[in-house]
Amino acid sequence: MILAIESSCDDSSIALTRISDYKLVFHKKISQELAHSEYGGVVPELASRLHAEALPKILEEAKGFLHQVKAIAVTNEPGLSVTLMEGVMMAKALHLALNVPLIGVNHLVGHIYSLFIEQEEKLPKMVLLVSGGHTMILDVRGYNDMKVLATTLDDSFGESFDKVAKMMGLGYPGGPIIEKLARKGDENRFNFPVPLSKTNKLAFSYSGLKNAVRLTLSEMEKLSQQDIADIAASFQKAAIAHLLQKTKKAFDLYHPKEFAIVGGASANLRLREEFIKECEKRGIAISFALLEFCADNAAMIARAGIEAYKRGEFIAMEDLKVLPRSCLT
C-alpha cells in the first residue's frame, strides 16, 4: 500500500491505497472549516497547529495497516508552507520508522488523479482545475506529462466565492454557501461583468468581478435576504460564464476528445450542468471526480503517488522540500 498525507491548506487527511488494484483501504479527513469560518478565510498558523493535532490522531486509526506500507506519498507543493510542513514532517518520520521510500506529490496533480480513485488512469484529457488556490486549464497526457494551457492572472474561481461570501458576512468556505443561496436568487437582477470577455486571451481573472460585487454592495444600504440571494446568483452566473467562455476557446484551439473538471469548486452543480450541456453539444466526453473527492483529500494524493511508485520516482529525505508555489508550467 501507499500511505498518503495531505495538509496543504485546511484539511488534514491520510489515506492508504493498495498498489495492485488502487483499492482505497483507509481514508480519513478532518476539516478545519469551522475553525477558520469566523475569520472568513484560512489563518495559516491556526491551520498548522490544527494539522499538528489532527494528523497523529488519524495515523493512530491507520496503525493496523502500517506493516503493509511500501512508500509514503506526501503533498509538498503548492500550498501554505507552514501547513505543508506538518505533513512533510510526518512523512519523514514515517520514512525513517518504516524504512520505506518517500514520494513528493504536487497537490494539483493530486486533484487530477482524484478522477482515477479506485480506477485505472484514462488519459489524455483536457482538465479544468477549479479550487481555492488555482484556476487552470491543463493538457494532461500522463503523470509526468502535463502542460498548463491557461491560468488566472489574479484571484482563483473558488477564492472569488470565498471573498464574495466574506463581503456579505456569510462565513467560510464561500463556495457551497453562495451556491446554495444562488438557488433562491434572481441571477439576472445584477449585471456583473464577465471577466476578459472582450479579449481573445486564454486566461482567467476574478479580481474585477469581485470588485464589481464590492461596488454594488457599497451602493446598497441594508441587505435583505433576497438581496443577498440575488447577488449570490448574479455573481455565480458571471463567474461560471467566464469559466465556460474561456474553456470553449480552449476547445476550439485544442479539440480535446475528453474533458474533466477537478478541484474543490468542481462540486458546484450549476457549473457541472453548464459544462455537461456544452460538452454534449460538441461531442466531448466529460467526467468529474466523485463529489466526496472534489475537495482536498489524501485519497487523491495516494492515487497519484501510485503512479510515482510504479515509475520508481522516490525522493531522498534531505531533498524533500516544501514549495509554496507549484512548479507546473
DSSP state of 185: S
Task: Map residues 250-289 to x or -, x wherever contact with ligand KG4 holds by CB under 6 A.
Answer: -------------xxx-xx---------------------
Q: Which of 7, 114, 131, 297 is close enough to bind Zn ion by CB under 5 A? A: 131
161 in contact with ligand KG4 (CB under 6 A)? yes
Nearest approach, Cβ of residue 27 and Zn ion (Å) = 16
Site stretch for ligand KG4 (CB under 6 A), options 18-26, 172-180, 198-206, 282-290:
172-180
Would you say 9 or 84 has its CB closer to ligand KG4? 9
Minimum CB separation of residue 162 from ligand KG4 in Å reads 5
Nearer of residues 75 and 234 to Zn ion, judged by Cβ: 75
Stretch that binds Zn ion, among 68-76, 131-139, 181-189, 234-242 (CB under 5 A): 131-139
Q: How far is the CB of 42 from ligand KG4 (least distance, A)?
A: 9
List beta partners, residue 126: 139, 259
Looking at residue 172, its amino acid is Y
Task: List b or e across 218-248, with b for residues whose CB sees 16 or more CB atoms inside 10 angstroms.
Answer: eeeeeeeeebbbbbbbbbbbbbbbbbbebbe
Alpha-carbon distance 89 to 55, whole Å?
A: 11
DSSP SS3 for 165: helix
Spell out the residues 6+ positions from residue 278 whose beta carbon is closer than 8 angstroms to its own.
244, 247, 248, 251
Does 326 help bind ligand KG4 (rule: CB under 6 A)? no
CA-based nearest residue to 39, from 156, 163, 193, 220: 163
Is 155 a residue that touches ligand KG4 (CB under 6 A)?
no
When asked if residue 296 is in the footprint of Zn ion (CB under 5 A), the reply is: yes
Q: Which does 174 bind (CB under 5 to 8 A by kind): Zn ion, ligand KG4, none?
A: ligand KG4
> Near Zn ion by CB under 5 A, which window of 43-51, 117-125, 159-167, 293-301?
293-301
Q: How many CB atoms lie within 10 A of CB 159?
A: 24
Question: What is the C-alpha to C-alpha distance for residues 94 and 62, in angstroms, rounded to an integer?
Answer: 12
Positive or negative torsion for Cα 36, 41, 46, 51: positive
Name beta bridge partners: 4: 15, 73
Q: Which stretch binds ligand KG4 (CB under 6 A): 13-21, 125-133, 140-148, 210-218?
A: 125-133
Q: Does 133 bind ligand KG4 (CB under 6 A)?
A: yes
> Does 6 engage in binding with ligand KG4 (CB under 6 A)?
no
Angle at 318 between CA 312 and CA 320, to 5 degrees: 60
Residues that bind ligand KG4 in the complex, under the rule CB under 6 A: 9, 131-133, 158-159, 161-162, 173-176, 179, 263-265, 267-268, 295-296
Residues that bind Zn ion in the complex, under the rule CB under 5 A: 131, 296
